[in-house]
């Protein structure tokens, strides 16, 4: 915090000018995009489930079935609870619950439901929060 001697004035180098120019463009694009998003009407979160049985596999007596959870709405959903149910002919159905922390509008997350080989799960959304 001591007084400094008068500094010499220099022109910025070409590199500094170029980096500053590119930075300015990047900042403008990011801020512009966020501003546009702010004026976009955010529709409520809509959670859709898709069972990608063709991409699953089995190991021993367990079947691993991918389940894609997508928020096709605009707003973010939190604590999305999904129930998967494997119906078995001879015993009680195998029911699992999975919680996904956050899904922004348009975001997709995949989890794997594990059940008996030879069965195909059904899936439903139990509920979610709007943070």
Partner 1 sequence: MTPGKPRNAGGNGDLDPILRACAGALLGALPLLYTMEMWWYARIVSEPILLGMMAVAGGVVVLSILFGGFRRGRVTHLGIDTLICFGIGIAASAVTLVVVGRIHPGVVPLSAAARMVALEAIPCAIGAALAMTQFRPRDGDTKNIDRRIDRLSQDRQKVLATLVGAVFFAFNVAPTDELRMMTIEAEPEHFPLIVLFSLAVSYIIVFEADFAERPKGYTTGALGRPMTETMVTYLLSLGISYAFLVGFGHVSPETPIPAQIAATVMMGYVTTIGGSAGRVLVAG
User: Measured from the CB atom, is 7 or 60 closer to partner 1?
Assistant: 7
User: Measured from the CB atom, is 103 or 123 closer to partner 1?
Assistant: 103
Site for partner 1 in 2-61 (CB under 8 A): 2-17, 19-20, 22-24, 26-27, 30-31, 33-35, 37-38
Q: Is 111 in the site for partner 1 (CB under 8 A)?
A: no
Q: Work out which of 58, 107, 111, 112 binds partner 1, going by CB under 8 A.
A: 107
DSSP labels, the chain? ----PPPPP-PPPHHHHHHHHHHHHHHHHHHHHHHHHHHS--PPP-EEEEE-GGG-EEETTEEEEEEEEEE-SSS-EEEEEEEEEE--SSS--EEEEEEEEEE-TT-EEEEEEEEETT--EEEEEEEEE--
């Amino acid at each position: 915090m001591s007084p400094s001697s008068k500094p010499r004035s220099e022109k910025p180098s070409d590199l500094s000018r170029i980096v500053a120019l590119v930075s300015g463009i990047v900042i403008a694009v990011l801020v512009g995009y966020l501003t546009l998003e702010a004026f976009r009407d955010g529709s409520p979160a809509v959670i859709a489930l898709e069972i990608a049985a063709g991409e699953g596999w089995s190991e021993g007596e367990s079947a691993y079935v991918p389940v894609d959870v997508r928020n096709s709405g605009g707003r973010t959903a939190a604590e999305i609870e999904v129930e998967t149910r494997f119906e078995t002919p001879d015993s009680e159905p195998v029911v699992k619950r999975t919680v996904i922390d956050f899904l922004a509008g348009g975001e997709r997350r995949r989890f794997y439901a594990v059940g008996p080989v030879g069965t195909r799960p059904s899936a439903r959304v139990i509920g979610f929060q709007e943070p």
